[in-house]
Structure 1
């Protein structure tokens, strides 16, 4: 029995995020025992019960393709171009953060992070700037969560509300344009706290890019983007990725972060159950119509932004405040946006003993951004 607990503890330490999420999920399952609603298909949201299967498919495809791109050394090539072009630590971090910000407008927050975080690590690691990994990743997470908030397809909660309320595109953009501009400026101000010293390569190892494999993964990357835009069906993209990788580079499947996919599944169950616990749902229902903005922000801190958008849309016609709340509410604690889990997992991959330090810094920075953005919103 002692050996069993030792092994269980060792497994838990290997994936702290998944372990904590699993404990939270199990606790909620005592209040909401597993039933058909866990997996029942919802035509309105195209989800399988709690599980947003399109998000999971897109995540798997992007994780696989990015793992493949890493194997071609293209990230090393791009990182050296960035270092030679921007030359200083602050300017290259600005490039990475704002790159994440604008890419998010096109492909949504989780895909933007999966693409840019590996590049950030290589840039900082090869120049001996690993101590700036946490602040850079945290600013990129804020950029990813906030960058796409003015576009209907910048993040999953926007997609849902845009379709659910049938919001005119121009009206949608108008609602959050000031908050988006504020975040853009706040990221710049935050970057000023980073010392602007010259970057020099510590690791000068030469890399040869595998051109044939790069072409395969570049094409697959385009298909993943097209599926996010709903131009190509998700299942067709999934089939293309699986078949292409099986034929050309099947060992790449072992590099996919299945723990991250499982963490998302666990959080889907956790947030779905939280929304069905009567004490929580009754409290939210009692305040949502009169205090939509506050209810949405608080709900995001409990059950994350996407479940909040789905849950609260059933109780209010005030789509403007709800839209603001599920975007502004993406700031704050770790679970307010599931995309933040991607960053934490990537960080712990490189700094396995840095969990406490990262969480404290993440919460401090995100809470500061949240308070400022709430103040700006209330003044409008």
Structure 2
């Protein structure tokens, strides 16, 4: 019994700081009591394939971190960059490009650990960079039908070609990326990159773990692409239990629970009769009403649930895509990618810094995107 108490006590201590998990867990439980639903509904809201994909990515990236490969890559990058602004622009551009082809969450799992490693051996302002990278995946993934979950859903619903979708979102993404580039240039200091010599180590601690973890990451992305996320995650879990168990202990398991609580709470909330009744009073045939509704809904329940909520009521799926992608900026809950970036980084006052930048970014970006979309769309 004392041993059990010793194991449980640290977890209870951690839970006290997990306000997001507690908030959405309370919401999910309250809604289950007020509006009970069949078990099949809760399974649908839980989005097991998404959670499985997140688990697989967490396992693979933790293996890459533990192998020393990220630190090695950071050392090579810093050795070739001279200014913090140049380094910041490179990381932001890399993040945006990766989000177009690997989805926004996968690109964050690759770039944020690299940023943390670079910050540990240099004067790179990690907190600022993580905020910029969160904005970058929202902006970059906007352009691609496969860049984020809401685009994939809307692309399939609209039944248009890949290039038709890209053309429809080109002006929108261009405005976002230009604004992001300007913010990166103005916000990052002019200083030169300064390396911390005593912390500089460009060796790979475990080449075997590095190779295995990279192969695991590639395999997990492929499994997610072909709808086998759960199988892929279970295989990775088994392999790491057998071959790299210490890495599993360092995984952020509470992040998985947080996303499960968010999916259950927001999924149920979005389908409440009162919420759907309110939608009936909105004239979503008007472009401005649809645009504002998509942004506001994203700020309240995140852009993927907002897409599901508005999809059957919106006459134009591509117009809805514009709205919910813009809605990824602003509050952290606007996009799950924001939550992943902040959680991976775990920077002091990270949430405050994110909102101090992201909310004004939304207020500037939203009208400019609307004007560009209506003029060129």
**Greater RCO between the two (CA within 8 Å, min separation 6)?**
2
Tell me how far apart the structure 2 counterparts of residues 187 and 358 of structure 1 sit (CA, whole Å): 14
Tell me how far apart the structure 2 counterparts of residues 9 and 379 of structure 1 sit (CA, whole Å): 54
Tell me how far apart the structure 1 counterparts of residues 13 and 353 of structure 2 sit (CA, whole Å): 21
Is 1:49 matched with 2:47? no
Is 1:143 matched with 2:146? no
C-alpha contact 1:331 1:367 (8 A) present in aligned 2? no
Tell me how far apart the structure 2 counterparts of residues 103 and 76 of structure 1 sit (CA, whole Å): 20
Deviations 1:292-319 (A, max 9, x none): 2222222111211111222222223311
Structure 1 residue 141: Cα displacement: 0.6
Is 1:16 matched with 2:19? yes
2:254 to 251, 255, 259: 259
Structure 1 residue 335: Cα displacement: 1.0
Is 1:282 matched with 2:285? no
Give the structure 1 partner of residue 298 of structure 2. Answer: 300
1:61 to 36, 42, 56: 56
C-alpha contact 1:227 1:234 (8 A) present in aligned 2? yes
Tell me how far apart the structure 2 counterparts of residues 318 and 297 of structure 1 sit (CA, whole Å): 15
Give the structure 1 partner of residue 75 of structure 2. Answer: 80
Structure 1 residue 125: Cα displacement: 2.6
C-alpha contact 1:296 1:308 (8 A) present in aligned 2? yes
- Mapping for residues 147-186 of structure 1, pairs under 5 Å: 147-186=140-179
1:342 to 340, 358, 375: 340
Tell me how far apart the structure 2 counterparts of residues 96 and 13 of structure 1 sit (CA, whole Å): 34
Give the structure 2 partner of residue 214 of structure 1. Answer: 210
Partner SS, residue 177 of structure 1: helix
C-alpha contact 1:328 1:374 (8 A) present in aligned 2? no
C-alpha contact 2:151 2:321 (8 A) present in aligned 1? yes
2:372 to 373, 376, 379: 376
C-alpha contact 1:17 1:345 (8 A) present in aligned 2? no
Equivalenced residue count is: 362
C-alpha contact 2:50 2:229 (8 A) present in aligned 1? no
Cα 1:53/1:196, change in 2 over 3 Å = same
Partner SS, residue 151 of structure 1: coil
Tell me how far apart the structure 2 counterparts of residues 309 and 252 of structure 1 sit (CA, whole Å): 36
TM-score w.r.t. structure 1 length?
0.87
1:329 to 304, 327, 330: 327
Unaligned runs of 5+ in 1: 1-5, 40-47
Cα 1:206/1:86, change in 2 over 3 Å = closer
Aligned-CA RMSD value: 2.4
Tell me how far apart the structure 2 counterparts of residues 315 and 19 of structure 1 sit (CA, whole Å): 32
Is 1:126 matched with 2:121? yes
Q: Which moved more, 1:366-375 or 1:116-125?
A: 366-375
Unaligned runs of 5+ in 2: 1-8
Cα 1:190/1:221, change in 2 over 3 Å = same
Give the structure 1 partner of residue 359 of structure 2. Answer: 363
C-alpha contact 2:48 2:230 (8 A) present in aligned 1? no
Tell me how far apart the structure 2 counterparts of residues 357 and 84 of structure 1 sit (CA, whole Å): 28
Structure 1 residue 213: Cα displacement: 1.2
Give the structure 2 partner of residue 43 of structure 1. Answer: none
Cα 1:8/1:258, change in 2 over 3 Å = closer
Structure 1 residue 17: Cα displacement: 2.7
C-alpha contact 2:135 2:358 (8 A) present in aligned 1? no
Partner SS, residue 137 of structure 1: helix
Cα 1:269/1:93, change in 2 over 3 Å = same
